[in-house]
Amino acid sequence: MSGMDDTKLHKPVAGIFWMLVTGLCFVAVTALVKMVGTRIPASQSAFLRYALGIVFLIPMIKPILNAKMSAHQLRLFGLRGVLHTGGVVLWFFAMARIPIAEVTAMNYLAPVYVTIGAALFLGEKLAMRRIGAVIVALIGVLIILRPGFRELSSGHYAMLVTAITFAGGYLIAKKLSDELPAVVVVGMLSVTVTIGLAPLAWSVWVPPNITELVILFAVACFATAGHYTMTLAFAAAPVTVTQPVSFLQMVWAVLLGWLAFGEQPDVWVIVGAGLIIAAISFITWREAVLKRRQITPLVGQTKL
């Protein structure tokens, strides 16, 4: 066992703490986006979230300029930017239209899609046990959506596509992270998504008021903080320790929707989310047992 692994194993409390903070940061993001509502179009809200967060890019400018990226890497960054741009717009759209708990539960699909994508595009072995876990996760989605038993809204369909785009972006980031420093991969995402969102936002622009600007700047702050604390959690403890803690976001989401926005807890959403969480946990555990290169992302790694 490497020295880094020993260090991680001796800091589980720190890993758990930072993942708890991460979950609270991402729940704050969902609450703030919910507060913005539907007056501002989803593409404009998403653009303002990234544009107002450009200040966080300043430390990344020099590493990006010094990276000397190849044409192939630039194309991958462009593709990731397109995928994430679409995903972020759809996420903002869904958040304003369906309960927070449902958005959170369906966002858990992204790690499952990553497992499928890794088998299709990265040559990862998809054994029968992992296939079984994927099937369980998909059953969880059917329980959440209950097609034929209730009317599905555009927000539900938006979240189904959101999870796919975030998963695709994560797989590209995984490949790029093997070739470039993490700060470059993170910084280029912000650059490409901001550029991608600009024309979409311009086409539907509604003058925002000061309150909306302050809320969206707070979204940028909490999202950035969440990704940073997630990095600290991942550095402090193995993914098998931090991943289960990240699922507490579902608990926070249910409580937040109920107490702050009057969204009554839906037992079917909770049951479906439980199945998806169980599937992701099993896949993560199998990766650890087989000592494979960790592919299944932490839940926060497929967020905006």
Q: CB count, 10 Å around CB of 304?
A: 24
Residues 6+ apart with CB under 8 A from 115: 124, 126, 130, 133, 134, 283, 295, 296
The amino acid occupying position 5 is: D
Q: With 0-12 CB in 10 A as exposed, 13-18 as middle and 19+ as buried, what is 101?
A: buried
State pTM to two decimals: 0.87
Running DSSP on this structure, what letter comes out for residue 93?
H
- Give the pLDDT of the chain (304 residues) as one tens digit per residue: 444 444 444 578 888 899 899 989 998 999 999 999 889 999 999 999 999 988 888 888 999 999 889 999 999 999 999 999 999 999 999 998 999 999 999 988 888 898 888 888 877 777 888 889 999 999 999 999 998 788 889 999 999 999 999 999 989 988 888 888 888 988 899 999 999 999 999 999 999 999 999 999 999 999 988 888 887 887 787 777 777 888 888 999 999 999 999 999 899 999 999 999 999 888 888 777 776 666 666 666 666 6
